[in-house]
Amino acid sequence: MTHVTHVDGPTDSVTARVPAKVNLQLSVGPLREDGYHDLVTVFHAVSLFDEVTVTSAERTSVIVTGEGGPAVPLGPANLAVRAAAALARATGRRGKAAGQGAGGVRIDIRKRIPVAAGLAGGSADAAAALVACNELWQTGLSVAELTEIGARIGSDVPFSLAGGTAVGLGRGERLTTALVSGSYQWVLAFGAAGLSTPDVYAACDRLRAARRTKDGQPVGVTEPQLSTALMAALRSGDPAAVGPLLTNDLQPAALSMQPLLRRALQAGREHGALGAIVSGSGPTCAFLARSAESARELAVGVTGAGVCRAVVHVSGPVPGASVVQSGAVA
């Protein structure tokens, strides 16, 4: 077993912890010519964490253990590997994190965030790798500089670095911190199989293209707007006000691809959820509870309904990617 101790001298190994996100609002604009959609979203970081340890090594490698590990790519497609390589390039460690010659990095990812679940697990690992390698290599980049590198890896990476609750514009990468009072109790219900984000967007476009008014005219897609009612409810800190205002434009598409999700959402409502929503592109369902105690009851009720693979009780908001341990490998 690897043993890590704190030292004041050079570090060989750094561990960062990074949260999953849920979207409290996800409004999707019309399909753009470049194939993307403009979004208005409200990200919220919750206490379900992946951990990423980076260790100085001859060659770059990645090991993934835990929830959904076998589904995660182990080569250059891994978002944590891409993040380490991008940081190495940006700081002049050219080729090193890409595994050429000595001075690579071994990346150990311990996953608790399910893969392809609408919880931004891959982006989270990229953010954790950026923070951890920044410390390991003593590159001294600011959070703003890491955010700029992260945005090129994936549009959810800036939020995984920031954490808390934030409004995301553009593809979700242009962030503004949201004012939120108190802490919110959530139950997350994981689906049996993942959903591919591009597939869910494509299904959303198809469903929208098929919409017709009563007299048979196509229904246009309007530009997304931030919900001022949701922002006011978040400032009030009252989960009963927040619950009914949760919205997700991708939910109909996710439900069309996994119809069982309807029963999961229904089970959450029947067991006292103040709000029940598919998170991001799904298939995770997020249920907002009145209190920690009602979240525990809700978790038991949803588990008993047998409509999902696993259930966890989490809270938010929590901070973004941060170093939790740094030291020499003994």
Write the CA distances from 326 to 84, 132, 267, integer angstroms: 17, 9, 43
**21 is known as an active-site residue:** yes
Contact residues toward ligand ATP (CB under 6 A) are 72-73, 77-80, 109, 115-123, 125, 156, 197, 280-281
Could you say which of 50, 108, 125, 156 is catalytic? 156
Within 13 A of 200's CA, how many CA atoms are on the CB side?
Answer: 23
State both tokens at 322: 């941060």
**Least distance in angstroms from the C-beta of 181 to ligand ATP:** 26
**156 is known as an active-site residue:** yes
Could you say which of 12, 21, 205, 214 is catalytic? 21
Buried-exposed string 115-152: b where 16+ CB fall within 10 A, e elsewhere: bbbbbbbbbbbbbbbbbbbbbbbebebebebbbebbbe
At position 90, the amino acid (one-letter code) is A
**Least distance in angstroms from the C-beta of 19 to ligand ATP:** 12
Q: Which is nearer to ligand ATP, 60 or 78 (CB)?
A: 78
Tell me which residue has its CB nearest to ligand ATP: 122
Q: Which is nearer to ligand ATP, 164 or 280 (CB)?
A: 280
Q: Which is nearer to ligand ATP, 16 or 116 (CB)?
A: 116
Determine phi and psi for 322, rounding to 5 degrees.
-150, 155
**Least distance in angstroms from the C-beta of 270 to ligand ATP:** 26
d(CA 213, CA 128): 47
- Residue 317: asked if its preceding bond is cis (omega within 30°), the reply is yes
**Least distance in angstroms from the C-beta of 167 to ligand ATP:** 17
Q: Which is nearer to ligand ATP, 77 or 232 (CB)?
A: 77
Residues that are catalytic:
21, 156
